[in-house]
Amino acid sequence: MTDLKPGVRGICGWCARMKRCEGFPGAIKFFITCCFSFIAARKIMFFMEADLLEYSRPEVRPAVPVQIRTATAADHRLARKFAGPAVMDGRLERGDICVIAVLAGEIVASAWLTAQTDYTFTLKRQIAPQSGTAYQSALYTLPAFRGLGIGLAVENAILLEARKMGYKKVTQFVAAANTGALHIARKLGYRPVREIRYSRALWHETYREKAAGPEHDAEH
């Protein structure tokens, strides 16, 4: 096909792949997969790492008078706007740490820390922290309280708690599109170590992972 124009070569290649499908149903499935592959949004996640041996507490002063503390079983009644009381109880029972921001008797932000196997639903994979490393997840601030420095204060408290418990590193996944979470992570010293590009369209999923380059170490 070297004598054909690029557009014609593309059509011929597509037809050749269609012929390899198993009958008409296979051809239809292939066609739909191709269509959704074009429209499926390709997303990027960063696997980030903070070195606690080099960590020094930054000045964190939220714009509102919130109380930042670790959660206890007595706080499960406040968790209805987050994961829910049952989830909080289960994670606390297995030894996970939850840091919460409380304002007027309500949780307005929270994040979790664990050294046990966890699961990321976005990437559909289990996370097994290495020895001396803890995994932070589920940083969430209620929409009405974003942009006030509360998430930064919560994540700072997570790192301080991890260091107090003797961990050397803390890791987390952050979506490249989540500029707020990415800004917080970088401000607290996290650096990207892995970059995962993925897309999903019906039954078709693709994942590509590579080491994060130096261009991701600072905000642009």
Token pair of 214, please? 């130096």
Task: Tell me the per-residue pLDDT of 45-71, one tens digit each, with 9 for 90 and over.
Answer: 999 999 999 887 767 889 999 999 999
Sequence length of the chain is 220
> Cα–Cα distances in Å, from 145 out to 10, 37, 59, 88?
51, 37, 19, 21
CB proximity list for 22: less than 8 A, separation 6 or greater: none
Which pLDDT does position 78 carry in this prediction? 80
Q: Where are the domains of the chain?
A: 6-38, 44-216
Half-sphere exposure of 101 (CA within 13 A, CB side): 28
Could you tell me the pTM of the whole model?
0.75
pLDDT at 217 > cutoff 50: yes
Q: Does the structural domain 44-216 have CATH classification 3.30.460.10?
A: no
